Amino acid sequence: MAAQRVMVAMSGGVDSSVAAALVKEAGHDVVGVTLRLWGGESDSGCCSVSDVDDARRVADTLGIDHHVFNMGEDFDRHVVEPYVADHAAGRTPNPCIECNRHIKFDRLLRRARSLGFDRLATGHHARLVDMPDGTRRIARAADQAKDQSYVLYMLGQDVLAALDLPVGEMPKHEVRERAAGLGLRTADKPDSQDVCFITSASRSEGGRQEFLGRRIPLTPGRVLDGSGSEVGRVDAVEMVTLGQRKGMELAGGDGPRYATAVDTAMATVTVGPAEDLFVDTTVVERAEWAVGSVTGRVLAQTSAHGQSASAVLESGGRDGQVVVIWDEPHRRVAPGQSVVFYEGDLVLGGALAC
C-alpha cells in the first residue's frame, strides 16, 4: 500500500500505542489523536488525565504529532445520556458499544476525513478480512482471549473501507513485547476493563448507583417470586439487571434465585431459579449488518467474552425485529445488551435484545 495519511486513535493504552508504531513502521504519515470524552471525575478507560499524558508521551517517543480532540458534548449526548435513560427504563446498556458506534467510528472518522486523512487506525483486538466480493469484514482477533470483535459489530462498509486494526493479528504478549522493545511507557500498563465515566474508587462504594442517583430518581422496589408473592426488597429497581443474584434482600427460598424480570414502571423485580432464565428464542431489534441482512444458521454471542452458540435467525416481521432461535436453551439476554452474529470468525452483524 502506498504511503497514506493515517490518524491513530490513541487511548493511552499499550494496544493503541503499538498500533501507532506499526502504522509508522509501514511508512505512513501518522498523527496520534486522543479523545477527551468525559469532563467529570475519571481515573480509568480513555478519559483520565493520566491516559492523555501517556498517549502524548508515547507519541513523543515515536516521533509523531499528537492532538487531543474534545468530544465531550457528543459523548454526553450519545453515550452518557442513553446509559442513564436505559437504566431508568430497566434496560442494561453497553456504553463501550455506543461509544464505538457514535464517537470513535462516526464522529472521529468524520473529523479525520475532514482533516484530509485517508485512514483511521485503532488498537482494537480484531482482524479485518478482505472478501472475494470486494467487501471487508471484522473477524475475531488472533488472540481469542482479547478478542474485541463483539464491540465492533455495527461497523458497515463505509467505515471498514477506511479502517486499520494493526494489532489484531498479534497475541497480547507480543504487543507488550513490541512496546517494551520500543521503550514505550505503556508496555506494562494494565488493560482498562471498566466504564470510563465511573471512577474505580466509587465503583467499590456503589459508584454506579451514586452516578445514576445524581441524574435520575432511584426507586425502591418489591421483589416478587413467580407466584407474585413478595419475598424481598431492593433499594433501586433501576440498578437490577436480568440474571442478577446479589444485592437483593430475599427471605426464605430453597436455593439461589435470580432476577428474571425487571419492571421499573411498577417498581418490581421478579426472581426465580436458574432454570427460569433459559429460553428457546430471543427477540432482538435495531439490527446492523456488515453487508446485508442475514437469516438462517449463525453463531450468536451474547457478551463480549462469552461463548458463541449455534442458532437460526428468522425475520421478526415487525419493526425490523429478528428472532434468534437457539439450538439449545440459552440464558436470557438482558434488554439493551447486544447479540452479535458470526459465520465462523467473521462478524455478520448484531442487534439489541428487546
Catalytic residues: 99, 196
Please answer whether residues 239 and 84 qualify as being in contact, where contact means their C-beta atoms are separated by less than 8 angstroms: no
Instruction: Locate the DSSP E strands across 220-321.
Output: 221-224, 230-234, 249-250, 258-263, 268-272, 278-289, 296-301, 309-315
Phi, psi of 72 (to 5 degrees): -60, -40
Alpha-helix runs per DSSP H in 157-282:
157-160, 172-181, 200-203, 207-213
Nine cell digits for residue 97:
458499544
CB atoms within 10 A of CB 29: 15
Displacement of CA 52 from its chain's centroid (Å): 21
CB atoms within 10 A of CB 325: 14
Please answer whether residues 32 and 22 qualify as being in contact, where contact means their C-beta atoms are separated by less than 8 angstroms: no
Q: Which residues pair with 301 in a beta bridge?
A: 340
Residue 134 contacts by C-beta under 8 Å, 6 or more apart in sequence? none
